[in-house]
Amino acid sequence: MTEPILRVEHLVKHFREGRHTIHAVNDVSFEVYPGEAVAVVGESGSGKSTMARCIIRLERPTAGRIVFNGEDITHHSARQMRPARRMLQMVFQDTHESLNPLFSVRRILREPLILHGLNHDKTQILGALEKVKLDQNHLGRRPHQLSGGQKQRVGMARAMITRPQFVVLDEPTASLDMSLRLQTLNLLRELQRELNMAYLFISHDLSTVRHLCDRVLVMYLGRIVEAGRVEDVFDHPRHVYTQALLSAIPIPDPTIQRQRLLLSGETPSTRQLKPGCGLQDRCPHVSAECRVPIPFYKVSDGHVAACRLAKPPIIEEKL
């Protein structure tokens, strides 16, 4: 059995905000295997980026464990993280926070190679630029002289230049037009094959997730509510939240019937988290068992949902 490249165990991340606590990530556990593409979906504020930042140790987890390549990195300092960092990269949702505004593209790409003692001659840098379809005229530019899409691609080139085994991509295609989006997705597939690279792909673009990823984690209010192979979860969603999320996208296959499902009310605040299902005040199927912690029910191999509707039926034994 292959070992997972990443293991996240009971990850919790809370932020203090004055007298309040923001429950951004609440007991999330999952594994990613080498070469696997795992998507994270869920509405804005569901904790996707916070979880990602904890995984690559830009944030200190409040509780839980992060194991990368067999090494517990949960409490690593920046210096302790350095060897792992080469193999564990991230492409950020917001390039403003990630590209040093004072550095040229050349320097942005050279920096990680130097840091990790890798060959940093011009061919390496040009190769990385070419992979993201940027020509060498961009080498001397600084981030403010690039478009949003170009910055996004520089961020991607920088993350890939150390040939990592695992990359977290937070909305990597959000500021790209359709043709660049497709190129980027092809690049990801290529790297996945070439380096057996695994990635965590955070996205609101459910059709891209469907085409690109092997597995999907659905998050709501800082918890995973459903997980499984993309086909299983997308074609047979069992959690009411997943059903609502998916019912917003058109279905290309007319043989699949899906009811449009609209949830009532608003997503509750992450300041007051109730025990039980996050959807308990919005779900048309709510019952008493939704107000206590919900276990994951197995729907099929590798497909689980934290919803009483996914509970296997009780088969009454005949006496």
Ligand X SMILES: Nc1ncnc2c1ncn2[C@@H]1O[C@H](COP(=O)(O)OP(=O)(O)OP(=O)(O)O)[C@@H](O)[C@H]1O
Residues belonging to the chain = 319
Contact window for ligand X (CB under 6 A) among 41-49, 187-195, 232-240, 277-285: 41-49
The binder of ligand X chosen from 26, 50, 165, 208 (CB under 6 A): 50
Q: At which residue do the structure tokens 């993350």 appear?
A: 159
| Cβ neighbours of 186 (radius 10 Å) | 11
Rank residues 93 and 162 by Cβ distance to Mg ion and give the closer one. 93
The binder of ligand X chosen from 49, 152, 165, 208 (CB under 6 A): 49
Closest contact distance (angstroms) between CB of 40 and Mg ion is 9
Structure-token pair, residue 96: 């403003």
Contact status: 26 vs ligand X (CB under 6 A): no
Rank residues 49 and 280 by Cβ distance to Mg ion and give the closer one. 49
Alpha carbon of 152 to those of 99, 116, 148, 172, 205: distances in Å?
9, 22, 6, 7, 16
CB 270 within 8 A of CB 222: yes
Contact status: 272 vs ligand X (CB under 6 A): no
Closest contact distance (angstroms) between CB of 132 and ligand X is 22
* Dihedral sign (CA 23, 28, 33, 37): negative
Contact status: 46 vs ligand X (CB under 6 A): yes
- DSSP 3-state of 95: helix
DSSP per-residue codes, 105-172: HHHHHHHHHHHTT---SHHHHHHHHHHTT--GGGGG--GGGS-HHHHHHHHHHHHHTT--SEEEEEST
Contact window for ligand X (CB under 6 A) among 16-24, 131-139, 154-162, 208-216: 16-24
The binder of ligand X chosen from 15, 33, 103, 296 (CB under 6 A): 15
- DSSP 3-state of 54: helix
Closest contact distance (angstroms) between CB of 252 and ligand X is 25
Contact status: 22 vs ligand X (CB under 6 A): yes
Closest contact distance (angstroms) between CB of 217 and Mg ion is 14
Closest contact distance (angstroms) between CB of 11 and ligand X is 12
Residues in the site for ligand X, rule: CB under 6 A?
15, 17, 22, 24, 42, 44-50, 93, 270
